[in-house]
Amino acid sequence: MPTVQNHPTTSIDSGRAALGALPPGGAHARASPSERAAIAAGLQGAAASISPKYFYDQRGSELFEDITGLPEYYPTRTEHALLRQHGGDIARAAGTGGVVIEPGAGSCEKARLLCRRLRASHFVGVDISEDFLHGAVARLRAALPGLDARAVGGDITAGVQLPPDIPRERRLVFYPGSSIGNFDPPQALRLLRHMHALALDGGGLLIGIDCPKDVAVLEAAYDDAAGVTAEFNRNVLAHVNRLIGSDFDPRQWRHRAFFNAAASRIEMHLEAMGPQRVRWPGGGRDFAACERIHTENSYKYPLPAFTALLREAGFGETRHWTDPRGWYALVHARA
């Protein structure tokens, strides 16, 4: 097994830099030269890696929605329950009638619940899977006719620039799903600082975090009995094939997921089932049997450690809501 390196950023760099648009055709198109070079560099590193942002082509987004309904995958249903049970308290903490901004919006299902509770005036969803996002925002708009809902498609690691007519007051950045765990701690801090800048003075952040728990529960959530997560993980190779012109055979790679106790994180890898020769225009790599490609980290934060990170990022007063087992938390922080 190769030595694990710090993983590339996976979700968003939501400062004031311009959002890099996807090439024509969205997430299904060939990557730009710089993006192809970055993907190739990850594959050719001492420990090969692929950024998990490439999970989310159309097929990957659909598979992830399937994952959220699996019996082993507790984060989504637990977070939904917290939003329903504590919606009144969340509304009092965050305020009503403002703007909800969701980086990595996906299906917008949680945003629908939150926007209804907050009586939001505007919603901005940002996601790399542009076709999937536009469909989700259209459904959100239909469900909440008074909501000014926008879709911003693009590579959200390149930064978020909101449409110019989005109000600057009463902004709430909504980052559910414990996606902050996909970043190593220095990257997470940088991301939270960008979110603080995006929220502006008087705004806030509502963020979901997955807390440490029994290892068997954690590992089952990332390696389900039906094999949906395995298919989701292997699909990244099909997406990379389209992006850089490589010739990975996803059927020749085995899904691996385990808890790294020293780092307090779940790791996902793809393991070669035999020797693999992979080529793409301008490069390639030979993989030995059982050699791995690191595709995701998911850090699990104790609440005190995470609230300290929020303070370091510039946020002020915090409130949190947890399920009875303390498995998951929603945290509101004032900008």
pLDDT for position 155: 63
CA 93 to CA 73: how far, in whole Å? 28
In the predicted structure, residue 274 carries a pLDDT above the cut 90: yes
Cite the beta strand spans of the chain per DSSP E.
Answer: 99-103, 122-127, 148-153, 171-175, 204-210, 253-260, 265-272, 276-280, 283-287, 292-299, 318-322, 328-334
| Residue 100 contacts residue 94 (beta carbons within 8 Å) | no
pTM for this entry: 0.84
pLDDT digits (tens, 9 = 90+) for 285-322: 999 999 999 999 999 999 999 999 999 999 999 999 99
DSSP state of 53: G
pLDDT for position 80: 94
pLDDT for position 287: 98
CATH superfamily, domain 77-212+301-334, is Vaccinia Virus protein VP39 (3.40.50.150)
Instruction: Please give the share of the chain, as a percent, with pLDDT higher than 70.
Output: 90
In the predicted structure, residue 12 carries a pLDDT above the cut 50: no
pLDDT for position 102: 93
* Angle subtended at Cα 21 by Cα 18 and Cα 22, rounded to the nearest 5 degrees: 155
In the predicted structure, residue 16 carries a pLDDT above the cut 60: no
- Tell me the average pLDDT of the chain: 89
More confident residue, 23 or 66: 66
| Residue 330 contacts residue 81 (beta carbons within 8 Å) | no
Residue type, 257: A
C-alpha dihedral sign at 193, 197, 198, 203:
positive
More confident residue, 109 or 74: 74
In the predicted structure, residue 282 carries a pLDDT above the cut 70: yes
Residue type, 164: P
pLDDT for position 107: 85
Cite the beta strand spans of 45-190 per DSSP E.
Answer: 99-103, 122-127, 148-153, 171-175
In the predicted structure, residue 253 carries a pLDDT above the cut 90: yes
| Residue 125 contacts residue 100 (beta carbons within 8 Å) | no
- Residues facing 153 on adjacent strands: 127
pLDDT digits (tens, 9 = 90+) for 189-234: 988 998 898 899 889 999 999 999 999 999 999 999 999 999 999 9
* Angle subtended at Cα 48 by Cα 248 and Cα 133, rounded to the nearest 5 degrees: 65
* Average pLDDT for 10-26: 30
In the predicted structure, residue 140 carries a pLDDT above the cut 70: yes
Sole residue written with tokens 């209804």 = 116
CA 266 to CA 74: how far, in whole Å? 14
Q: Is 140 helix (H, G, I), strand (E, B) or coil?
A: helix
* Average pLDDT for 134-155: 91
pLDDT for position 19: 27
pLDDT for position 24: 32
Instruction: Please give the share of the chain, as a percent, with pLDDT higher than 90.
Output: 78
In the predicted structure, residue 3 carries a pLDDT above the cut 90: no
Q: What are phi and psi of 63, to 5 degrees?
A: -65, -40
